[in-house]
Amino acid sequence: MKKTILLAGTVMFLFTACNQAPEADKAATTEKQEAAVTADGVTFAADLTASNVDFTGTKPTGKHTGAFKLQSGEVTVKDGKLTAGNFVINIGSMVITDADTAGASKLKGHLLSPDFFDAAKYGTATFEISGVEVYDSVKIKSLLAGATHIISGNLKLKDSTKNISFPAKVSVAENSITAVADFNIDRSQWGLSYGNDKSLGDRFIRPEVNLKLNIAANRK
């Protein structure tokens, strides 16, 4: 009897563990804000080869991972500090990076369909910075090692725009900039609600999606 209870508990633990988004900072989400503008700053163009946006989605039976490339992007620096920026993400550039590649083509097709990104109608997503603050560990506890700033910006997916704020590690040099971040968002806030119903059982897809940003930019 005890073994049966222990086994049942173990199964429930594994089910719950698989049903969780990766441990990361949770992006604060609000309504769209006015984009930051810096008229007299120095412009850096995104390195499209070195920059990417990785994502992880989870479900009771496991997870799926993938990545997008930037279509364009630039940031502005004034007095050695990041002050503004905007990026265009190429939705069609999606690649599935699952360890098991057997279903990658089918998964990509589904994610690009109207059930999710509807890439034929909405070929890009955008992010425009609305604010940059110095990270203060007293005010916010971040899971990101070496976090230096809190970046806020308007993220547009399909026809919905929300402002998100998340910790990032930003490094500004004379001729280059790098920025990394690791955070979770709730996709349903952008109307991406497919599979977001726990009654679906094994077909349930968690609304939380993990995003990892790796951005590099060079001075124009």
Per-residue pLDDT of 99-131, as tens digits, reads 999 999 999 999 999 999 999 999 999 999 999
Over range 197-210, report the average pLDDT.
Answer: 78
CATH architecture under which domain 2-219 falls? Beta Barrel (2.40)
pLDDT at position 10 is 37
pLDDT at position 109 is 97
Per-residue pLDDT of 21-73, as tens digits, reads 789 999 999 999 999 998 899 999 999 999 999 999 998 888 999 999 999 99
Q: In the structure, what pLDDT confidence band is assigned to residue 200 with cuts at 50, 70 and 90?
A: low
**Token pair of 44, please?**
């850096």
What pTM did the predictor assign?
0.89
Domain positions in the chain: 2-219
pLDDT at residue 15 tops 90 = no
Q: What is the mean pLDDT of the chain?
A: 90
Per-residue pLDDT of 167-196, as tens digits, reads 999 999 999 999 999 999 999 999 999 878
Per-residue pLDDT of 138-174, as tens digits, reads 999 999 999 999 999 999 999 999 999 999 999 999 9
